[in-house]
Structure 1
Amino acid sequence: MIIFQLIIAIIMVSFVYTLIRFYRFFRWFEYEIYEHLKRIPDANFSWWKIIREFLLSKDPYYNFFCIINRLADKYESVGIFRFLPKPATHIIVTDPVIARKILTSGDFLDKSMQYQLFRFLILDNLFNTLRQHKREMSPHFRMESLNFYFSNVEKYLKLLNENIDKCIDDGDGRFKDAKPIVASFIADTIGVNFFNIEFNSIGSCFKVADCVDVVDETIHVASKSLANLAIYFTHNRNLFLSLISRRLTDVCHRLNSAVLQIITNRIKENVKTENCQPVSNATTTTLLDTLIRTRLNDGNVSKIEEIRAHINLILIAGYDTTKTTLTWCLYQLGHHQQIQERLYNEIRQFLNELDDNNEKITIMNMKRLKFLECCILETLRLYPPGLIIGRCGRRPLLLANGMCIPAGVNVLFNLWKMGRNPKYFKQPDMFNPERFLTDTETDHHISIRAAFLPFSAGIRSCIGKEYAMMQMRLFLINIIGRYMIQSLDNYGDTIPEINMIHPAAQFPIQFQRRN
């Protein structure tokens, strides 16, 4: 009996000792974070302001975005500040140099807590499994695969031309909204290139398939939930998100049901084929078919949730972002006829040179169109698809200004403000593609390129960058080389809505054939 009591006493003492050590470590860890954070300017955002601006607001995400932009102006000289009180303290970065330092650091690979919302939308923890994500996705964005996608993009551009020409012949080439034109093209090319499925959006009078169209609503509804600050103090955020917004749960269910139907149809097609062995070459096999075949065993597919997460990610991150950039690029070119004419002359000269040399358009020779690239980059600067991106570090990071970013603290990068930083971009609100165009690498031009982060930076940069650039180059070569476009609204009337992902431009447009 005495021995038993002695054992219990030893266990209790050990338990209390462990608690004391844990408490001391926790206090030391908090002190270390405080020591680092106190060197970073504090926005002094009180709890009363939080309740007034967010919890009682009809559009909390818009308020959140406006507030951090106002604070960014206040701390413009520093380029970094603290936002929100403990324990939800965030660091907001608005200086591109500081942002690039953090994003390229190997210690800041984890996504910030805001990406819990993405995990909720795609029903997976993909953002925490970077190695698996890269391994399965990267083969489909290599040059061999891009060349395979190239012919599909050209096919849909011809179909797009036929429909625009029909509108010109039947009327005056006017469309009430440019968004469905671009959205249909992006949806059809994504469907064929990544899912091996014909959505037939262009052929259906520019009506986007339901499984793709629901992406817009999903992002819009999700943005409202992202600004609910209660999520930052909740441990089980998936459960919290499902409880606070029935509409969010509904649109997520619709999105995932549509994606599951796509996967089921492709599984049936793959099971019918004779060779269902795992494929190692992604050059002529779509992403969805590869994901299915690597999980196919005796007619059954395992880990369908992983496949669904990948497809959801392509739809959310691939469809909406490219659509946003192209619609805003058309909007600006339609209002700046001199810039459009300069771009047309470059495209015409490029196509004439190809004809003279008996060449075809390729991914590589398109890169010779420097002014075209500048127009795309300038659009990305003014309208970055992702307004804000976030990271969380595993170890402290010392900055050049002497400040230190602590481990475990969420860091948000305001790409919208970075692209409008007058320190790097003169007349930042003006659409001026020429700012990216130079024959010599001057210090100013190098600083502009360093300050430009629409695809993020480092190992976590956008994996689909080259595919998106290829698609946008081809689209603009085709449209501007074939038609003169005119935006029919008053310049500035089309104001971008503030969402988690920058929404596409919606404006009336007119197409006229070029001689």
Structure 2
Amino acid sequence: MAVVLALFVGAIVAAISYWWMGIYRIRSKLHWIPEIPRLPLIGNALELKKTTEILGKFEDYLSKHNGLCTIELATYKFIVTSDPTFLEFLLGKTDILNKSDEYQFLGNWLGKGLLTAAAPKWKRSRKMLTPSFHFSILDVFVDTFDSNAAILVDLLDKETNKDSFDIFPYVKNCTMDVICETSMGVSIHAQKNPKSDYVRAVAELCRLLILRTYSPLKTFDFFYRLTSDYKLEMEQVKILHSHTMQVITSRKEELKKKHKDDQKEETDDVGIKKRKAFLDLLLETTIDGRPLTDTEIREEVDTFLFAGHDTTAAAISFCLYCLSVNKDVQDKIAQEQKQIFGENKNRNVTIRDIQEMKYLELALKESLRMYPPVPYVGRKADRDVVYTDGNIIPKGTALIIVIYWANRNPKYFPDPDIYNPSRFENTTDTHPYTYIPFSAGPRNCIGQKYAWNLMKTIISKVLRNYELEPSGHKLQIAAETVLKSENGVKVKLRKRDWDQI
């Protein structure tokens, strides 16, 4: 018994020693990057425990060290950066394609989908999925965007002439409806039934993810599995997986029943006679000659929902907020809409209409600069990487890319806190890595063209029907997985007189 105990203790000591040597190796090789003062054992964790304070702390760190520094959370060291030169090197490297460890918290829900997959699988999946986001396929989704935007406009009617209201929940349910319909081919009616099991499960999983991310103890799987949060998470995952699998099974049966000639017509005329959902395209896709498994399909469909609905809703909501407090910009967009739609403001939007919304695009670019939906992203070095000056980024180093502050660099964006769409009229001299709302490099957002079309469609529909007015509301920005306002995104609405434009 004593021998067994001695071996057990020895194994633990050896494991701890190996773990500590790895930490020491990373620390010693990062001597060339300024280090933020930290406390023993907990590092900088106390300074970063509130989501409403994280971005302010990052600004403080980065402004003092030219956009590049290191911090520690418990015993883990992170490079934190918003420097465009460093970002250009970092985001373009094939040695730093893996996401940081925190993304694995999504594993129970998303599995190894495009967002969370390790680099080798990500490369295969990205190549496989890219054709599904070709403009000829995305263009046919505009009808779905428009019909759901019409529901949103109808629901907003009850909020007119109030002092203020939070527009984000309305927009979020709209984008969830759109993404479920375009990804799975079915509607979940989140706008009309926001308390359905599916809608609540998505919201609950997003909430649990934030709680786990900012809890030092829950970051460890062993401890997390002992908590009530883990049990609740798995209950919500079961609801979502069950729904997605039912849709997959049902759609596969429908395709089997179709006549061969009908299938050929559908395939040949994609985007013309038959609007295909993302799911249909996945069912037709092969990797190395084999069809995708149901689990692989489910992972990509669920990833599309998670990565798309909240981010797009945040982008739209913050843009509407910016327009509410910048009437001159809103008026110019309304005039552009009048030129495009003429007297028939309620006709369905077309892809050509979207392409003509040039000034709305400038306004969106500026709100995305100020309020990028994903405030920061994490990466991890797969191996020792040699920086341009010869210094080493050691294998295993985690990196935090602070998009929020990269987009507010005063060197490239004078008066960065001022909303000014005209700054995007000429960007030829701007460093390309100062503006990265969809990230950049090979692992950028695959769905950004989809997002642009959806954002323009919804904002256009809202502004053709309503005027946005300032509510006196001040945003309390919170850095969660998606940028949020802790106290909501509040605006005032009144009916727009289309004839007066």
Structure 1, unaligned runs of 5 or more: 1-22, 296-300
Q: How does 1:206-217 map to 2 (within 5 A)?
A: 207=194, 209-217=196-204
Q: CA deviation at 1:64?
A: 5.2
SS of equivalent residue, structure 2 residue 484: coil
State the 1:102 CA deviation.
0.6
Question: 8 Å contact 2:69–2:81 — kept in the other structure?
Answer: yes
- Which residue does 1:342 correspond to in 2? 332
Q: How far is the alpha carbon of 1:348 from its aligned partner?
A: 2.2
Q: 2:30 aligns with which of 20, 33, 37?
A: 37
Bigger mean CA offset, 338-347 vs 504-513 = 504-513
Task: Report if the CA contact (8 A) 2:324-2:468 is conserved.
Answer: yes
Shift of 1:352: 4.6
CA contact (8 A) 1:267 1:292 kept: no
Return closer, same or farther for 1:160/1:52 CA change in 2, 3 Å cut-off.
closer
SS of residue matched to 1:134: helix
In structure 1, how many angstroms separate the alpha carbons of the residues matched to 2:457 and 2:418? 25
Query: Which of 224, 249, 258 is 2:240 aligned to?
Result: 258
Give the whole-Å Cα distance in 2 for the aligned partners of 1:276 and 1:264.
22
Question: Matches of 2:403 and 2:129 in 1, distance apart?
Answer: 25
Matched, 1:426 2:408: no
Tell me which of 119, 136, 145 is aligned to 2:137: 145
Structure 1 residue 249: Cα displacement: 4.1
- Whether the 8 Å contact between 1:263 and 1:288 is mirrored in structure 2 is no
Indicate which of 185, 195, 200 corresponds to 2:174. Answer: 185
Aligned to 1:307: 297
Q: Counterpart of 1:268? A: 250
- How far has the Cα of 1:50 moved from its partner? 3.4
1:46 equivalent in alignment to 2:39:
yes
Cα distance 1:84–1:163, how it changes in 2: closer, same or farther (>3 A)? Answer: closer
Counterpart AA for 2:276: T
Are 2:492 and 1:509 aligned?
yes
Mapped partners of 1:452, 1:421: distance in 2? 9
Unaligned runs of 5+ in 2: 1-16
Residue 323 in structure 1 maps to residue 313 in structure 2: yes
How far off is 1:399 after superposition?
3.8
Give distance in 2, aligned partners of 1:47 and 1:497.
27
> How many residues of Structure 1 are paired with residues of Structure 2 in the alignment?
461
Q: Distance in 2 between matches of 1:456 and 1:513?
A: 36
Contact 2:42–2:73 (CA under 8 A) maintained in structure 1: no
Change (3 A) 1:48 1:108: closer
Aligned to 1:363: 351
Query: What amino acid does structure 2 have at the position aligned with 1:191?
Result: C
Distance 1:136 1:511 in 2: 46
- CA shift at 1:320, angstroms? 0.3
Q: How does 1:38-437 map to 2 (within 5 A)?
A: 38-47=31-40, 50=43, 53=46, 59=49, 61=51, 65-75=55-65, 77=66, 79-84=67-72, 88-124=76-112, 126-128=116-118, 129-164=121-156, 167=158, 172=161, 176-204=165-193, 207=194, 209-230=196-217, 237=221, 239-243=222-226, 245-273=227-255, 274-275=257-258, 284-291=275-282, 303-352=293-342, 362-363=350-351, 366-400=354-388, 403-437=391-425
Residue 201 of structure 2 aligns with an amino acid whose one-letter code is V
Deviations 1:230-263 (A, max 9, x none): 567x5xx4x44333x4225413531441342242
2:41–2:75 Cα contact (<8 Å) kept: no
Higher deviation after alignment, 462-471 or 408-417:
408-417
- Three-state SS of the structure 1 residue aligned to 2:379 is strand
- Rounded to whole Å, the distance in 2 between the matches of 1:249 and 1:69 is 36
Asked if 1:451 corresponds to 2:451, the answer is: no
Contact 2:43 2:75 in 1 (8 A): no
Code of the aligned partner of 1:38: H
Distance 1:336 1:262, change over 3 A: same
Q: Deviations over 1:337-379 (max 9, x none)?
A: 1111122122323445999xxx995436633433211211122
Letter in 2 for 1:473: K
Q: Match of 1:260, as an amino acid?
A: S
**CA offset at residue 31 of structure 1?**
8.7
Distance 2:60 2:374 in 1: 19
The offset of 1:473, in angstroms, is 1.1
Q: Residues 401 and 254 from structure 1, CA distance in 2 versus in 1: closer, same or farther, beyond 3 angstroms?
A: same
Alpha-carbon offset, residue 484 of structure 1: 1.4
Q: What CA distance in whole angstroms lies between the structure 1 residues aligned with 2:172 and 2:285? A: 31
User: Equivalents in 1 of 2:189, 2:243: separation in Å?
Assistant: 17
C-alpha deviation, 1:123, in angstroms: 3.4
The residue aligned with 1:497 is: 478
Aligned mates of 2:24, 2:252 — CA distance in 1 = 57
Matched letter for residue 125 of structure 2 = H
Relative distance call for 1:496 and 1:367 in structure 2 (3 A) is same
Deviating more after overlay: 95-104 vs 500-509: 500-509
Could you say what the CA RMSD is over the residues aligned between the two structures, in angstroms?
3.6
* One-letter amino acid matched to 1:498: A
Is the Cα contact below 8 Å between 1:186 and 1:323 reproduced in 2? yes
How far is the alpha carbon of 1:135 from its aligned partner?
A: 4.2
2:84/2:406 contact within 8 Å kept: yes
Structure 1 residue aligned with 2:6: none
Stretch of structure 1 that moved more, 142-151 or 153-162 = 153-162
Identity %: 22
Instruction: Note closer, same or farther for the CA distance 1:321–1:367 as it changes in structure 2 (3 Å cut).
Output: same
Aligned-pair CA distance for 1:103: 0.4
Mean alpha-carbon deviation: is it higher for 140-149 or for 397-406?
A: 397-406
**Distance of 1:372 and 1:267 partners within structure 2:** 41
Deviation per residue, 1:76-115 (Å, 9 max, x gap) = x2x2112118962211112123112210122211111121
- Which SS does the other structure have where 1:83 is aligned? strand
My pick for the range that moved more, 346-355 or 458-467, is: 346-355
Matches of 1:270 and 1:420 in 2, distance apart?
47
**Is the radius of gyration larger for structure 1 or structure 2?**
1
Alignment check: 8 A CA contact 1:371 1:437 kept = no
Helix, strand or coil at the partner of 1:154: helix
CA 246–390 in structure 1, closer or farther in 2 if over 3 Å, else same: same
Q: Say whether the 8 Å CA contact 2:29–2:394 is kept in structure 1.
A: yes
